[in-house]
Amino acid sequence: MSRFSAPIAEQIWDMKYRLKKADGAPVDLTVEDTWRRIARALAEAEQDKAAWEEKFYTALEDFRFLPAGRITAGAGTGRAVTLFNCFVMGTIPDSMAGIFDMLKEAALTMQQGGGIGYDFSTIRPRGADVLGVAADASGPLSFMDVWDAMCRTIMSAGSRRGAMMATMRCDHPDIEDFITAKQDPARLRNFNLSVLVTDAFMEAVKADGPWQLKFGDKVYHTVEARDLWNRIMRATYDFAEPGVIFIDRINQMNNLAYCETIAATNPCGEQPLPPYGACLLGSINLARLVRDPFESIAELDEADLDDLVATAVRMMDNVVDVSRFALPQQEHEAKAKRRIGLGVTGLADALLMVGLRYGSDEAARQTERWLHRIARAAYLASVQLAKEKGAFPLFDAEKYLASGALAHMDEDVRAAIAEHGIRNALLTSIAPTGTISLYAGNVSSGIEPVFAYAYTRKVLQRDGSRTEEEVVDYAVRLWREKFGDADLPDFFVNAQTLAPAEHVRMQAAAQKWVDSSISKTINCPEDISFDAFKDVYMQAYETGCKGCTTYRPNEVTGSVLAVSESSEKTPEAETGADVVYLSDPLDRPQALEGNTYKLKWPDSEHAIYITINDIVMGGRRRPFEVFINSKNMEHFAWTVALTRMISAVFRRGGDVSFVVEELKAVFDPRGGAWMQGKYIPSILAAIGGVIERHLVSIGFIEAEGMGLKSDPQHEAMAVGEAPRGPACPACGAYEMRMVEGCMTCMSCGHSKCS
């Protein structure tokens, strides 16, 4: 009997986590094989490997403990991959050589996957003097453009997506440009942006006082603090960015404040990290731990929770020792502090199963109690590991126990730490869990409320056939099994029916016992006033949150799918857009249709021949592969490389028309050539033009210089209908929504942060 409670769960496992050979043949025949692979790999760090393998397997069984995707997909595969989810890169020096050294390190890290964060506050502002070269500085925003291009290039080569976070202090002279940078729709698409807000700035906002923008000892401008705050809020209100990080609180509450300073986070904000900091993530599935759900005696099995947390802490601690790292600095940082980020998922479902309305005072109190229990169990488990294996190398009992986060920890836990030390400097974090929550049977994600009780998902299979399936929330499915088609009780609420203050209440309740931070989106109604919207951020600050991310539907960012307030049923999206099954590169059929084009570059003795083959999917032709040939052996190496790179991008699917624009933008410093009355800046640009004309001829793009061709089958909205949201870059559906701090597609699960 399958362990999967829903078809989507098995699909996610097969697409994302199942170990397969290079030819696609499965190695993990069942999900039990996946659990066994992970358990065996993490038990390698133990002396009694067999005993701990069984204990770890039991924790993974039935989706009770959910290691983050990189652990689930990578542990025990023998592949040279990191099992860490997120990194913050080294401090960026304010010099050209140092900046590009950091760019190289970022590229090496991104090749292995994972989200990475940077603080760009260390780069001098635009217009500042550059000593020794009689020039003005171009400023941090210009270098962010370089990073963005690097990320795009890495991804176009077929690497796994890896989002980036850029932070900037609220007192940097270029902060106003930073706030509005992404209002240009073509700029910094691979970045999330967050402003580092200090306590002094918040006090100046409340006092309506002045605020100095400075770099080093030089004050560049003085502005009104409230005006700058309103600029941040207005950009977030209209464009959903930038986010806000309360950086002083993060440093004050950091267990390691005595040996590190934090100035950046990973892309979704749940991991504030020092330079070269790395963190691995995992989640306790609270929905699986509720006994007698929906009965008057329903309760979370706290003894089971304690045992599961202790096992999860040990598994995650072992990941530090078995993982690979892109840079030696990252390995040193991870092993010196042994930071882990144990969190939860399924919180909203668990609250429903014990009869509590998400966002209510009682639900917030219960959340705080559960998170307190998890924190106790995690810290005590880490103390036990310290007794057995030693404390983390930088542990200093007096300084550690004096940190802000340990001040309200239970006295027996503090005493145990003082006596034995602790293995892991930080232990708790609540990360985005969208994909692993689907894998676990569509439990509610992280500490978010249920977004939709049920929705219809269309899937385009590899053979061209289509399937349509209902995806039902885990708690709703249990309710149906118990009570049939009876109406859902009043305490079943969803993200759209909650007031913003209720979201903040839940985040603050969880934050009290989370020593890192929380990835959460506070959904705001479209008609919320600007002043009320600002109050959400002030409430988050006043109630102890470490950051705040909101999403307000509007004409610029689009709106999310409508959800019925009185029914578990969510209206099916009217897009008709299909989800293309593209977890792996598309399989190549035996025969493909294509065309060969001759390109004669004026200065070259031999012509170049470009063959472009197409695949038919859903009745439409789309590019699948490219071959570039020439008798000129000087062209051999780069044409082979280009062939492989472009073909890899094409086989990943989605909107690949950007390849054309990237090629056409390449300039040869030796000069271009005039061809058919047009100046072509390089031979690569000429190849881009050939590919573009082919894409036009097959109907994939509208015309030269234009994007994807519209198709009635893929139309998103009726004429005159307000936009439901941005189009998904993977499947084209207009079902993108903000969840856990990241834009995610409701239809296919695509996320810029995964």
β-strand 191-197 against 135-136: which pairing, if any?
unpaired
Check if the beta carbon of residue 453 is closer than 8 Å to that of residue 568: yes
What are 666-717's pLDDT values in tens digits?
777 677 788 877 778 888 888 988 999 998 888 888 777 666 665 433 333 3
- The answer to whether the peptide bond before residue 125 is cis (omega within 30 degrees of 0) is no
Percent of the chain with pLDDT over 70: 85
pLDDT of amino acid 615? 85
Q: Which of 27-41, 153-167, 203-217, 273-287 has the lowest mean pLDDT?
A: 153-167
Which entry of 86, 151, 170, 268 is annotated as an active-site residue? Answer: 268
Torsional sign, CA 454, 456, 460, 461? positive
CA distance 182 to 184: 5
pLDDT of amino acid 620? 73
Its pTM stands at 0.79
Nearest CA to 87 among 331, 325, 319, 266? 266
Q: Is 625 a catalytic residue?
A: no
DSSP state at residue 492: -
Q: Is 268 a catalytic residue?
A: yes
The rounded mean pLDDT for the chain is 86
Which entry of 270, 331, 692, 735 is annotated as an active-site residue? Answer: 270
Q: Is 266 a catalytic residue?
A: yes
pLDDT of amino acid 158? 42
Exposure pattern of 99-111 as b/e (b: 16+ CB <10 Å)? beebbebbbebbe
> Residues 270-298: what's their mean pLDDT?
96
Task: Pull the structure tokens for residue 637.
Answer: 């190496």
What are 381-393's pLDDT values in tens digits?
999 999 999 999 9
Place 560 in a pLDDT band, splitting at 50, 70 and 90. very low
pLDDT of amino acid 264? 96
- Residue 519: pLDDT over 60: yes
CA distance 173 to 351: 46
Check if the beta carbon of residue 288 is closer than 8 Å to that of residue 349: no
What are the residues facing 192 on neighbouring strands?
165
CA distance 435 to 208: 43
Q: 384 in helix, strand or coil?
A: helix
Check if the beta carbon of residue 724 is closer than 8 Å to that of residue 734: yes
pLDDT of amino acid 731? 52
Q: What angle do CA 663, 667, 670 make, to 5 degrees?
A: 140
Place 398 in a pLDDT band, splitting at 50, 70 and 90. very high
Cα 302 to Cα 153, 370, 639: the distances in Å are 48, 8, 61
- Amino acid identity at 271: Q
Most confident of 84-98, 113-127, 162-176, 383-397: 383-397
> Residues 119-144: what's their mean pLDDT?
87
Q: 416 in helix, strand or coil?
A: helix
Q: Which of 61-70, 644-653, 732-741 has the lowest mean pLDDT?
A: 732-741
Which entry of 190, 254, 255, 266 is annotated as an active-site residue? Answer: 266
CA distance 401 to 23: 52
Only one residue has tokens 């969803």, namely 494
pLDDT of amino acid 539? 97
CA distance 138 to 143: 8
Q: What are the residue ranges spanned by the domains of the chain?
A: 7-83+279-420, 86-252, 452-581+721-745, 593-697
DSSP assignment of 641-705: HHHHHHHHHHHH-S--THHHHHHHT---TT--EEETTEEES-HHHHHHHHHHHHHHHTTSBSSTT
Task: Pull the structure tokens for residue 278.
Answer: 């790395």
Query: Which ranges in 160-266 belong to alpha helices (H)?
Result: 175-180, 199-207, 225-239, 247-252
Cα 301 to Cα 292, 373, 375: the distances in Å are 10, 11, 16
Check if the beta carbon of residue 140 is closer than 8 Å to that of residue 178: yes
CA distance 439 to 16: 9
pLDDT of amino acid 237? 93
Q: What angle do CA 92, 98, 101 make, to 5 degrees?
A: 95
Place 630 in a pLDDT band, splitting at 50, 70 and 90. confident
pLDDT of amino acid 564? 37
Exposure pattern of 614-623 as b/e (b: 16+ CB <10 Å)? bbebeeebbb
